[in-house]
Amino acid sequence: MYQTLYRKYRPKNFDEVVGQNVVVKTLKNSIKNDRINHAYMFFGPRGVGKTSIAKIFARSINCSKKDGNICNECEFCNFSISKDCLDIIEIDAASNNGVDEIRELRDKVNLVPSELKYKVYIIDEVHMLTIQAFNALLKTLEEPPSHVIFILATTDPQKVPETIVSRCQCFSFNRISDKDISENLRRICDAESIKVSDEVLLKIAEFSNGGMRDSIGMLDKLYAYCDAEITMQDFIDLNKIVSNSDIIELIHLVDLGKMDEVSSAISDWNSNGINLIQLMDSILVCLQDVIFDSLKNNKCDFTDVNKIIKLANLINEKMFDIKKCSTPKVYIQIMFLNFMNSYFLDKNISREIISQNKEENKIENKEKNKVLSVKKEKNTTEKEIAGIIEEKNVAPIVNKKSDINNSNIDEIIQIRLNNTFAEADKNELNNDKESFKKLNDFVFDQNIGFLACSLLDSKLRVSSSKNLVISYEYDSVVRENLTHLDEFYDVLSNKIGINKKLAIVSDEVWEKEKKLYITKLKNNEKYSYVEEPNLVYNIIENDSTNDADSDSISVFGDIVEVE
């Protein structure tokens, strides 16, 4: 019968244990110095050697040589490995919550060992015991007979009652390093004459997340699956993962703003059974490599290393949400689209088109103030720049690179807040909330997807027939979104039928304003409606500047003043 590689190569003495040096050294010394405790608790991730070491320790403390290992020669070593040995007892608390076994343990614990010096109870997954079983165990731990040793192993020490933990000497088992794992796999492969490259072994190690058992299990699966030699492709096929080169390709697509291709890559992988959460982890590792490489060698295969850093930060930030959401595919797609959209608009389109149109714009610029009909053409140029506004009645768009600090935007937001409070209506708010759901239809829209997403991310606070107040947690998000104020207006009015002027504030500002509103209500003070001025950017009139950004402001700035 085939014996699994894991069983076959399970460590049989302390020398064969990989990656738990501190634990092994301490346990060996305790045997050598004859300082053996009555109860031990081994905790750490699954598959890192807790049960294997417990078994080795149980045999070592019974070896007559007492040198901290198993001699495999003395009568005790011979007995402790035999099937008839009744003095080393393994209990799997996960199998039946251990009530019967713990009860039996309590009944028999006082009986002296039949052959060995110590009777050792190994209780695996001890956190799974029921309360009754814990109580029974506690009674035994309180007054253990001198010939009994307990080794409790768990992946979840938090779930073990403190009264139990405090009676044990505790050992924390760490995840095993990729290097240690791959070296151990190499030993096994050599012994079994399995052909495989170091690259694949390292990949198995990375994939096993520090668990030796999982890594050997995977090697076993690959060995069964492959013909002459285990290749990287076999690994990729069997584990349904995405290759590094495909990940790099994806990062390139994101970098270049290829929204359709990014979206369909994620879709395809998802339909092929790829674990997208694992994929995100791999992308992060890959991005990290890219960032390190670019910073070290001062060159980057992508358009901008800062963009790659931003992408890595974004994925890192969203990882928790991705893990807990029910449809990671959609979440991930939106995340990438959002990233590309904002980046594309902020950097590429405005810079590229601005430089393309520079000459043309300069001519227009000279003629400004002359003819009002120019307005129409300028609007057209603006549409190109933003690339997001459709036909008709478009409110003048503020150039993305305009400095909102350099405008009367704060004044306008304050007036809008005031005006919303002046005519606040609960029904309006409820209707708006209902209408906002329609934004979900546009999250994949090439042009307005990121606006829809941003609006969906907001909290609707108060509404009137003419105004709406939304808020975001972070001030930086508020400032960013304020630069898209007119585009939001367009999406709200043209797509979901909300014809209102928007005030965007931070949660903090909102809380202050709300308090003020409530205080005023109590004191019977009223908000009175104020006419709002036009949004004005203070433009520096300087044609000779070489800076593309300020150029663009002076070129397009006048548009917002028209009307």
The footprint of Zn ion (CB under 5 A) covers 63, 71, 74, 77
Query: Cβ 67 to Zn ion, closest distance in Å?
Result: 9
Taking the complex as a whole, how short is the minimal distance between the CB of residue 60 and Zn ion, in angstroms? 8
Q: In angstroms, what is the minimal distance from the CB of 149 to Zn ion?
A: 17
Is the Cβ of residue 78 or residue 380 nearer to Zn ion in the bound state?
A: 78
Residue among 39 and 61 whose Cβ is closer to Zn ion:
61
Q: Among residues 39 and 116, whose Cβ is nearest to Zn ion?
A: 116
- Pairing mode of beta strands 467-472, 459-463: antiparallel
Nearest-approach distance from CB 65 to Zn ion, in angstroms: 5
Pairing state between β 169-172 and 39-43: parallel
Q: Which is nearer to Zn ion, 36 or 516 (CB)?
A: 36
Instruction: Compute the least distance from the CB of residue 61 to Zn ion, in Å.
Output: 10
Residue 248 CB, nearest approach to Zn ion (Å): 54
For 453, left (φ over 0), alpha (ψ -120 to 50), or beta?
Answer: alpha
Pick 116 or 265: Cβ nearer Zn ion: 116
Task: Let me know: does 427 contact 518? Beta carbons within 8 Å.
Answer: no
Across the strands, what pairs with 120?
88, 149
As given in the structure block, the two tokens for residue 525 are: 């003070």
Q: Is the CB of 74 or the CB of 232 nearer to Zn ion?
A: 74
Comparing CA positions, the residue from 382, 400, 378 lying closest to residue 390 is 382
- Whether 332 contacts 276, CB under 8 Å: yes
Rounded to the nearest whole angstrom, what is the least distance from the CB of residue 116 to Zn ion in the complex?
11
Provide the CB-side half-sphere exposure for 123 (13 A, CA): 26
Please state the closest distance from residue 331 (CB atom) to Zn ion, in A. 57
Q: Shortest gap between Cβ of 56 and Zn ion (angstroms)?
A: 12
Return the closest-CA partner of residue 39 out of 136, 172, 150, 137. 150
Of 33 and 64, nearer to Zn ion (C-beta) is: 64
Residue closer to Zn ion (CB basis): 74 or 536: 74
Q: How far is CA 218 from CA 103, 203, 278, 449, in A?
A: 38, 11, 16, 41
Q: How many residues does the chain have?
A: 563
For the bound state, the minimum distance from the C-beta of residue 62 to Zn ion, rounded and expressed in Å, comes to: 8
| DSSP classification of residue 9 | T
The tokens for 283 are: 């992308």
In angstroms, the first-to-last Cα distance of the chain is 87
Q: Name the residue nearer to Zn ion (CB basis): 74 or 353.
A: 74
Angle at 319 between CA 315 and CA 320, to 5 degrees: 150
d(CA 457, CA 443) in angstroms, rounded, equals 11
**Residue 49 phi/psi, 5° resolution?**
110, 10
| C-alpha–C-alpha distance, residues 60 and 118, integer Å | 10
Cβ proximity to Zn ion: between 13 and 135 the closer is: 13
Alpha carbon distance 279, 251 (integer Å): 12
Please identify, using beta-carbon distances, which residue of 78 and 96 lies nearer to Zn ion.
78
Least distance (Å) from Zn ion to the CB of residue 37?
21
Residue with Cβ nearer Zn ion (33 or 172)? 33
In the complex, minimum distance from the CB of residue 234 to Zn ion, in angstroms, rounded to a whole number: 42
Task: With CA atoms as reference, report the closest residue to 318 among 342, 343, 336.
Answer: 336
Q: What is the DSSP string of 253-322?
A: HHHTT-HHHHHHHHHHHHHTT--HHHHHHHHHHHHHHHHHHHHHHT--SSS-HHHHHHHHHHHHHHHHHH
